């Protein structure tokens, strides 16, 4: 979650770069981390916009 006064000006799935501080917050009665944004900058989507898990290092723990 990002706390920023003009957050409604950003559309769903828009890519942004956020500068701010991490703080404790709550959402629907649950404790969460929030980012208190001091700056938000629109950026282009990366060529590979998804994060893929890499479980290979975990195999070494067995």
Q: Could you tell me if residue 16 is inside a domain?
A: yes
pLDDT at 50 over 80: yes
Asked if residue 25 is part of any domain, the answer here is: yes
Residue 50 within a domain = no
Quick check: pTM over 0.75? no
Q: Which domain holds residue 17?
A: 12-42
Residue 47 lies in a domain: no
Decide if 5 is inside a domain: no
Total domains in the fold of the chain: 1
Q: Indicate the DSSP class of residue 9.
A: G
- For residue 22, give the 3-state DSSP assignment: strand
Task: Establish if 60 belongs to a structural domain.
Answer: no
Task: Assess if residue 6 is contained within a domain.
Answer: no
- The per-residue pLDDT for range 2-13, each reduced to its tens digit, is 888 887 888 888
Answer yes or no: is 7 within a domain: no
């Amino acid at each position: 979650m990002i706390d920023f006064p003009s957050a409604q000006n950003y559309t769903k799935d828009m890519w942004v770069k956020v500068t701010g501080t991490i703080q404790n917050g709550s959402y629907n009665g649950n404790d969460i981390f929030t980012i208190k944004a001091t700056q938000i900058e629109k950026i282009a989507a990366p060529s590979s916009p998804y994060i893929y898990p890499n479980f290979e290092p975990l195999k070494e723990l067995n």
